Amino acid sequence: MGSSGLVDFHCHLDLYPDHAAAVERCERDGVFTLAVTTTPKAWSRNHELAKLTRHVRAALGLHPQLVADRAQEIVLWEELLSHTRYVGEVGLDAGPRFYKSFDKQKEVFNRVLTACAAARNKILTVHSVRAAKVVLDMIEQHMPPPRGRVVLHWFTGTAAEARRAVDLGCYFSINAQMLNNEKHRAVVRGVPLDRLLTETDGPFTQTGGRPSRPSDIPITLDGMADLFGKDRGWIEAAVMSNLKSILSQAE
């Protein structure tokens, strides 16, 4: 099975109509795909499908938007953590729909970071909607770079917050929709190229009127090439190099 050299570091493969087919497509297309989960109860099936592949890995998550109803599942999350290096989707969401659970979210995220830091080899993909400062405060307190690697998924914080995240050792995963927003383009432009990965966040983004797939990553690479004034092949190689760096650092 060949590799395309493409990276989708945040995709909800289990939310496509046919989960197994979505995994098979990633494997066939040779796209390194991190299959994130929204609850720890979903991890086992994701892992079962991913462990048979070369290119797909399953991440153990407890999505902040679900914490209001599922906070108790952090116990199961903690029980499963030793079975994977990959964690996500986790983090905080202070948007209007979810702010009422923000204190509970912080309790859960604190337990996530503390457990990952103790393990020392985890790679996290982190949600930070309207909560970048608090997320970074908690990363600074609980998850210094020697303890693991944090990738900020679809980061929408300020340029100053992005610089702080870089100083804290964080990486960023970028999708095509981010690059269609001038404010977000400006923030991405300020991030060092050696801290960038690509993602789709499929099926929550659209490509050509359908849910985005990992094989759509070249669209994001084209956008990044335009943003940084680089050849697409150069950007693709840089993203793959960054992925290898994260994997080696977390071993």
Instruction: Spell out the alpha helix ranges (H) of 2-120.
Output: 19-29, 43-50, 67-70, 74-80, 102-119
Distance from chain centroid for Cα 22: 18
Q: Is 29 annotated as a binding residue?
A: no
Q: Residue 84 in contact with residue 47, Cβ under 8 Å?
A: yes
Q: What is the DSSP letter of 71?
A: G
- Residue 41, both tokens: 């109860």
Q: Is 236 annotated as a binding residue?
A: no
Query: Burial code of 134-144, b = ≥16 C-beta within 10 A, e = fewer?
Result: bbbebbeebbe
Q: Is 153 annotated as a binding residue?
A: yes
Q: Is 201 annotated as a binding residue?
A: yes
Q: Which residues are annotated as a binding site?
A: 10, 12, 89, 127, 153, 201
Q: Which residues are annotated as a binding site for a divalent metal cation?
A: 10, 12, 89, 127, 153, 201
